[in-house]
Structure formats: C-alpha cells, structure tokens
Structure 1
Amino acid sequence: MKKTLTYSLALVASLLFCIQASSQEYRKDRLFMPKGTSSGGLQISYVDLSSIDSDIFLIVDGLNAEGTMMSVAPFFSYTYKDNKAVGLKLKYSKGSGGISDVDLSLLSDDPLLSLEDIKASTRNIQLQFFQRSYLGLDQNGRFGLFNDLVLSYGTSRSSFSVGEKNLDAYTNTKKVKLGICPGIMIFILNNISTHVSMSIGGVSFTHTENFKDGVLSGSRDYTKAHFAPDVSDISMGLTVYF
C-alpha cells in the first residue's frame, strides 16, 4: 500500500507539472522529445487485489474476496511538435476474481443472504488514441514527466460461475472514455526509455447488455465522471525510439 501511495502522489504531481508546462513559454533547455521522433513499445500491467488489504469492505461481515487483472498494450507514437506527440495503443486485458464466502446480514442478527464460492472472469480489448505532453526535468533529457489525454473505445465480456457450475449468464460491455493518464519517464539508453503511468480518472459512457441462456435479459446505459488515482490501472512500459 505504501508503494501504491508513492506512485499515486508522484503521478498526480506529474500531471500538475505538465499542466504548468503547457501554460509557460517553451524552454529549449528543457527539450525532452524533439519534433519528428517516432517510437514504439510495449506496456504491461498486473494488479492483485484482496478484501483483506482494503478498508472498503469492513462493513461486510466475513467477506473473503480476491482478484487479479493483467494487461498487455503495444503502442506507437509520433512527435509532431517539440514535447508534443500523438499515438495509438491496442490494449488487451484479462481478469478473474472470486468470493469464497460473504455474509450480508450486516446489522441484523438474522442472516438475510449468504453467498459462497462465486467466481467471475472478464476479457477486454481497447483501442486508444492519445495526445501526450512532455516536460523535461534535466538539461540532458534523461528524466521527464508526461501526461496523456486518452480517448478510448473498448469492448469486454464477463462470465460467472458458482462452485463447479458454470452459469449460462454473461455480460457484454461497450465503453467510450476520455481520460487522463500522467506518468514518469527515464531514458536508460539513448534510444530506449522506461516509464510508469497511472490513470487518474475521466469521463465515460458505458452500454451493458446482460444475457441469460443466450437471451438478452436486460441492458443499461450510463455516464460517469470520476477523477481519482486508479490503483487497478498502474502500468509499466518500455519504449524504443527511431
């Protein structure tokens, strides 16, 4: 948790730096990414969450839940102006989770609902277009901050099971999101850099369809605006420049 908090503070600070940089006159001694630079790379993410590590679920008695989420995202970008770039990213995510036991009686002595051994899995694919702003931190151009303004479209499918029984029920979701994702970048070689980034929210529109026995049982459309560090969307990447 301390490491996550450190990432959060650092990445929020990077966003503030990038906003400040965009409002100031461009400085040649802080050039981090020169015009005409092309790059390609790979970004990965892995998150392991558990109800034991979270204070959010303390109101639920006997909750034992855990889940994992991993993603792989190749990307390409082009610097159209000094310290300004645009790019495309294709992101594939896969996650799974389960609740081994939960008692939802809460404030009553009589159990209202008790659930056991519920599992869910999800797969998601996203196409992202991003506009990136850089801010160099040293005159040698080795250390820098960046901020991505990301427009994404994604589709996902989630399925469920109880115990050893697979439920013939699943959910299809389509989502459009405009988000903010700041990060920190370091050049480890002249043409290779590594970075850490984190989503801090955005505005999204989601369309969800629920199916039971292959028949549409319900759908929902909703819009959401949320701005806060997202610990489930911390990514590390490696970039090659040419």
Structure 2
Amino acid sequence: MRTSLRTILAACCIAASATILRAQELSAPGLPADTARTCPPAAATAATASGAPIAEHPKTINEKRRERGLTDPRNLFVPKGQWVFGGTASYSTHTNEGYQFLIVEGIDSKGYTVRVSPMIAYALTDNMALGGRFIYSRTLLELDKAELQLGDEGSDTDLKANNYYSLRHNYSVAAIWRQYIPLGRNKRFALFNETQLSVGGTQARFTNDSPVKGTYETGYTLSLGISPGIVAFATNNMAVEVNVGVMGISYTHTKQVHNQVTVGKRNTSMMNFKVNIFSIGLGMAFYL
C-alpha cells in the first residue's frame, strides 16, 4: 500500500514539472507576440517585484515629430504627382474731384492699378510642390492739381502740383516652393506656406508742369519672400486660396534719365519682418 502511494506522488511531481517547463517554452523568443506577452520576462518580473522602475528608451526627434502629426504620412492633402494651376488677379480704380486728404487740398486725380499672377506647380512628394509664378502689374496716375499748405496765414508754405502723370510697369518671374499642412484629418481646408525667389524689372514714365518735364526710369529687383496662406476646396479639383506676405529680403537698382539729359541712380535693400497688407492675394487654383 505504501509503495502505491509513493508511485502516485512521484507521478504527480513529474506531471507538475512538465507543466512548468511547457509554460517556460511558450514564453521564449520567436513565438507570437500575444503568447509572449502572457509570460513576462524574469528580469521584468524581478524589477516589478522589487519596486524598481523599468527603464524606457528615450524618444528620438523624428519620433516626437511623428507624434505631433505634421509629418504623419496619413495627413495627405496634395498627393504626389498632382499638377496645380492657378493664379490671382486684382483691379482697382479711383477718381478724386476737389478732395482733401489731411493737409493736401484740392486733389483732382484719377488712376487705376491692375495686377495678375498666374502660377503652375507640380507635387514632387505628398503635400509638397515646386513650380513657378509670373507677376505683372500696371499703375496709372493722372493728377491735374493738388495743393499742400503748411503753417498759418501770413507764414504758410504753399506747394502745388499740376499736370502730373505717372505710368509704371512691374514684371517678375519667381520660383516657388509650397508646403501644405492639413488641418487634422480635414480634406477641405489646409494651411500652406509659399517661398518665392524672384527676379524682375520695372519701367516708369513721369511728366509734370507746362512746358512738360519728363523722367524715364528703369530698374530690376531681386527678392526672397515668404507668403503663408489657407486653401479651401470648393470641389474635388477646384480650390480658393488666400495668402499674404509676411517677410522678405529684396534688393532694387533704379536708373533715371531726366529730360533726356540728367542721369540718376539709386540702390535700395530691405529686410521686412512684418505683414504686408498690400501683398494680400485672393485667387483660384485647379488641382489636376
């Protein structure tokens, strides 16, 4: 009887040992993740039992950027291989009759300004496009008369302008780089930033007084600017865009010839870090 009990106890011990060994094999590397997670490593179990914190691998800069979502490839707005055609246009006109502005009195003038800027770009990668833009503007001002008065009666200074005429043409070509930033998972609205590297020229004519005195002016400009904006899709292929210049660096060289005799030159450079309200553009674009 005692021998039978000893045999049964030995068999139970052997079965228990086999079960423990089998559990350890299931937690070994190379098995499915769900199975391995059911049996934590001995080191982690020991660290948890002792109350010591488990060391975590520090995140890299690229991992933190992906968490922010700006470089998340799932935030697709403009896919690779898409063409973008668009542009902006504006026109304004004015007429003054006996108008007074601050200390300038009796203004009789008329004029207009027209500006067009077609654009073409190609998406080399998702949410990024390279292309070109052409910009042309024409400004006309005809001032029949205006009077500037400074001081009071008896000691005032009176300056007058009569028969002043000004016509200016500006044209430039720019290489552009666009980066689109989707607003979350929204597929209709997105922010974009347009960087422009442009070179252009200008021509202008000025005349005044009687007999007529005239000045002819030519020049060129080099500039680097940034214009952020927002784009809203009205349809799947047509969008409305609004952008504004906020900063830029420019260099301008101008040459004047007065009455076909006197020659003058001017060089100007400027670094601008403020919003330019005169560069606000509203236009349309087609994504094909």
Q: TM-score range by the shorter chain?
A: 0.7 to 0.9
1:62 aligns with 2:108: no
2: distance between equivalents of 1:67 and 1:228?
28
Deviation at 1:132, TM superposition (A): 1.0
**Structure-1 residue corresponding to 2:206:** 160
2:278 is paired with a residue of what secondary structure? helix
2: distance between equivalents of 1:187 and 1:165?
56
**Structure-1 residue corresponding to 2:25:** none
Aligned residue runs from structure 1 range 1-242, under 5 A: 25-47=70-92, 58=102, 60-62=103-105, 64=107, 68-99=112-143, 100-103=145-148, 105=150, 109-162=155-208, 167-215=213-261, 217-242=263-288
The answer (yes or no) to whether the contact 1:147–1:183 under 8 Å persists in 2 is yes
2: distance between equivalents of 1:234 and 1:97?
22
Unaligned runs of 5+ in 2: 1-64
Larger radius of gyration: 2
1:33 corresponds to which letter in structure 2?
V
2: distance between equivalents of 1:30 and 1:43?
27
Deviation at 1:143, TM superposition (A): 0.7
2:81 is paired with a residue of what secondary structure? coil
Change in 2 beyond 3 A, CA 1:75/1:224: same
Deviation at 1:79, TM superposition (A): 1.3
Deviation at 1:203, TM superposition (A): 0.8
Deviation at 1:32, TM superposition (A): 1.6
2: distance between equivalents of 1:158 and 1:230?
23
2: distance between equivalents of 1:133 and 1:165?
55
Aligned residues: 216
1: distance between equivalents of 2:270 and 2:210?
35
Does 1 or 2 have the higher relative contact order (CA < 8 Å, sep 6+)?
A: 1
Measured against aligned partners, the alpha-carbon deviations of 1:14-40 in whole angstroms (never above 9, x if no partner) come to xxxxxx99x964134532212221111
Deviation at 1:187, TM superposition (A): 0.9
2: distance between equivalents of 1:229 and 1:118?
31
The answer (yes or no) to whether the contact 2:86–2:284 under 8 Å persists in 1 is yes
1:208 corresponds to which letter in structure 2?
T
Q: Mean Cα displacement is larger for which, 154-163 or 25-34?
A: 25-34
2: distance between equivalents of 1:200 and 1:44?
19
2:168 is paired with a residue of what secondary structure? strand
Task: With the length of structure 2 as denominator, give the TM-score of the two structures.
Answer: 0.65
Deviation at 1:50, TM superposition (A): 9.1
- Choose between structure 1 and 2: higher strand proportion: 1
Task: With the length of structure 1 as denominator, give the TM-score of the two structures.
Answer: 0.76
Change in 2 beyond 3 A, CA 1:137/1:24: closer
Deviation at 1:153, TM superposition (A): 0.7
Change in 2 beyond 3 A, CA 1:182/1:207: same
Percent identical pairs in the alignment equals 27
Unaligned runs of 5+ in 1: 1-19, 52-56
